[in-house]
Structure 1
Amino acid sequence: MEHQKEALRRIISTLASKNEELHHFLESVDNTVAGLQSPVGICSDSFWREGMLFCPVRSCWSSQIKHCPLPTKKNFSRYDIRLQKIPGSPEIDTSRCAVRDNAITVAWQPIGETAEDGGPIERYELEYRKTNCDNPLRVTGACWEKICDIRNTEVTISGLKFDTLFVVVRVRARNKAAAGEFSEPVAMETRAFNFGFDAATAHAELKVQGDTITWEPQGVKGHEARLRSKDNKSSRGSTPSPHKTAESRVRRERFAGESYTVLGDQDMNKGCYYWELRPLDDWKSLSVGVAYRGNLGRFDQLGKSAGSWCLFASQWLQSSLAAKHNNRAKALDWQLPRRIGIYCDYDHGDLLFVDVDRLCLLHSFKTKFVQPLVPAFTVWCGSITIATGLQVPSFMGTFLETHRTPSQ
């Protein structure tokens, strides 16, 4: 009972406070109206002299606005009133539009700026959205992204991830009056290589989270015990028995033993592909490359079979960089890259590894691919992240011209 009384007292106190605030507000309104009465009288006299009837504003709450007669034609003719037209729709110039290096450039014809066209154009507004439909008029559901305050008849949108087949764009003009209608939408093709990690193939000690892989040892408190023992173990000695237990039969596609590997979930069987890898701060050893999915055993490490090609990097004990294939390694005299670009031309048998930040070619393989490939990754101690949905960058053209000779 006391609790209810206390609650009731709080409600009464709140209402009293609100009532007092309302009274203060009404007083301020009355003061404002009183202050406006004097200027209103002056304006009223001025309008009467111009032959226009002024309707006085009454301060009482129940005042009504009187209907004012229209000014005569004689008096109205001295006022020049013009209604500005809404600008027309721009027309996108597809011949000047381009898609390059994960950026799209959209250009359009300028709108006329005569009085009949709506007067000067202040700015343009562009909207775009991603879709897998090549008919821009049938695109539904996706939200439009907006770019405002465009002063020219061309704009470039950069840093896009091309995870759909097309990007639909439209543009409209805006003057002082309002914005006009949008142009006819145009679909721009944005094909790129999109893939993710195939978690079903990941080693049990690799944690897949979106575009990131992290090595998380099981049954070891911290990494120190594993790091101390790695130098004293051979790959064969640390590999579990191939005799399948109940758990291994369920996870027969997972890599095991010392092969801390995970594969991509999309095949490469024709054309050109490009993606990037970035090691995170805590990494110790990694490999990145391609492999035949069917020819890579559960205990096989990248680069140690005829069906896998990779770039190996390590900063455990000492820094090293090497290209590996068919159980052969070639040491590379380069600094460890912070961002690795991987380019694969399946039809021509080219596999290139590029230091993206320094724009230098780390290594290239020349071969003939005879089976579908998948991206392949190995991580030991640390994490890596990948970037997909990337077009083949324009700088790859320079490397392809000078490095299409067998290097291994």
Structure 2
Amino acid sequence: MATSSSVAGLCRLAGRTATSLSVRHSRAAFLPARICYISTSAGHNAQFRLDERTAHSSLDLFKKETGVIYRMLGLDPTHVPDNPERFRDWAVVFGDEKISAGRHYWQVTVKKSQEFRVGVAEAQMSREDCVGTNSSSWVYGYAQRKWFVMTGNKIVPVTLVGKPDRIGILLDYEAGLMSLVDIEKPAIIHTIRAQFKTPLCPAFGLWDGELLTHSGLEEPEGLK
């Protein structure tokens, strides 16, 4: 596993450094219970849109809230409605579905992006943090032409992976598994093992280009 210096080397987080990450992460910030999402998925094939209430001001949603594009300057934060769901410091957006059980599969199309993260996070994750920097989120990231796994602010390289235009995410809540899927074969490239104890949301970080999500999909045969 990489040290905190690797975090600075691999991931440029909206201008933040590894030092500022450790400071922000030490602040305990919790969201009020009033946060709600459109629905809760306990079965299969979670279908979601991106939740504009959570989107950082540098992210614009499009295509009926299934896609997100990064704007270098973004909106003036003072002109963005203030609410506890929004990420104020990090270019992150959540899906509007909470997943509390079951096995789910979705895909992400990557366009003109050299730095992004895809995965899941606890619905009540602190908006003071970025996905991957705490124990409440599990992501696959791409930066500096390299793939990595990130959770708890620690990075583990994922090797022998190119930069596909489209990737799959397979989540098995009860088994505590989240996998990165090569959709061309199809085959599992890498699997994260964790203990999921609270509802999860699809989570995305983006620092250039755009991502388009495809949810409500059937799991490809042969992945079990």
Shorter-chain TM-score tier: 0.7 to 0.9
SS of aligned partner of 2:101: coil
Residue matched to 1:90:
none
TM-score where L is the length of structure 1: 0.41
The within-5 A match list for 1:9-408 is 192-209=45-62, 210=64, 211-218=66-73, 250-257=82-89, 259-280=90-111, 282-294=112-124, 296-314=125-143, 318-333=144-159, 334-397=161-224
1:219/1:307 CA distance change after superposition, 3 Å:
closer
Structure of higher RCO (CA pairs closer than 8 Å, 6+ residues apart) = 2
In structure 2, runs of 5+ residues without a counterpart are 1-43
Deviation at 1:385, TM superposition (A): 0.4
1:390/1:249 CA distance change after superposition, 3 Å:
closer
Deviation at 1:323, TM superposition (A): 0.6
Measured in 1, the distance between the counterparts of 2:136 and 2:171 equals 15
The question of whether the paired residues in 2 share the 8 Å contact of 1:194 and 1:388 is answered with yes
1:383/1:247 CA distance change after superposition, 3 Å:
closer
Measured in 1, the distance between the counterparts of 2:188 and 2:103 equals 17
Higher relative helix content: 1
1:104-134 C-alpha deviation (Å, 9 max, x unpaired): xxxxxxxxxxxxxxxxxxxxxxxxxxxxxxx
- Root mean square deviation of aligned Cα: 2.1
Measured in 2, the distance between the counterparts of 1:359 and 1:380 equals 28
Measured in 1, the distance between the counterparts of 2:181 and 2:213 equals 14
The question of whether the paired residues in 1 share the 8 Å contact of 2:57 and 2:80 is answered with no
Higher relative strand content: 2
Measured in 1, the distance between the counterparts of 2:79 and 2:55 equals 15
The question of whether the paired residues in 1 share the 8 Å contact of 2:180 and 2:191 is answered with yes
Deviation at 1:247, TM superposition (A): 6.2
Deviation at 1:219, TM superposition (A): 6.6
**Count, aligned residues:** 177
After superposing on structure 2, the runs of 4+ consecutive aligned residues of structure 1 that deviate more than 4 Å are: 245-249
SS of aligned partner of 1:200: helix
TM-score where L is the length of structure 2: 0.73
Measured in 2, the distance between the counterparts of 1:249 and 1:208 equals 15
The question of whether the paired residues in 1 share the 8 Å contact of 2:58 and 2:74 is answered with no
Measured in 2, the distance between the counterparts of 1:217 and 1:253 equals 22
1:298/1:305 CA distance change after superposition, 3 Å:
same
Measured in 2, the distance between the counterparts of 1:353 and 1:305 equals 20
User: What percent identity do the matched residue pairs reach?
Assistant: 28
Structure exhibiting the larger radius of gyration computed from Cα positions: 1
Deviation at 1:337, TM superposition (A): 2.5
The question of whether the paired residues in 1 share the 8 Å contact of 2:186 and 2:223 is answered with no
SS of aligned partner of 2:130: coil
Measured in 1, the distance between the counterparts of 2:102 and 2:188 equals 21
Measured in 2, the distance between the counterparts of 1:392 and 1:382 equals 27
Deviation at 1:361, TM superposition (A): 2.4
In structure 1, runs of 5+ residues without a counterpart are 1-190, 221-244, 398-408
1:213/1:246 CA distance change after superposition, 3 Å:
closer
The question of whether the paired residues in 2 share the 8 Å contact of 1:290 and 1:373 is answered with yes
1:304-362 C-alpha deviation (Å, 9 max, x unpaired): 10010000012xxx411101111111111121222111111111111111121243422
Measured in 2, the distance between the counterparts of 1:290 and 1:323 equals 12
1:139-167 C-alpha deviation (Å, 9 max, x unpaired): xxxxxxxxxxxxxxxxxxxxxxxxxxxxx
SS of aligned partner of 1:357: coil
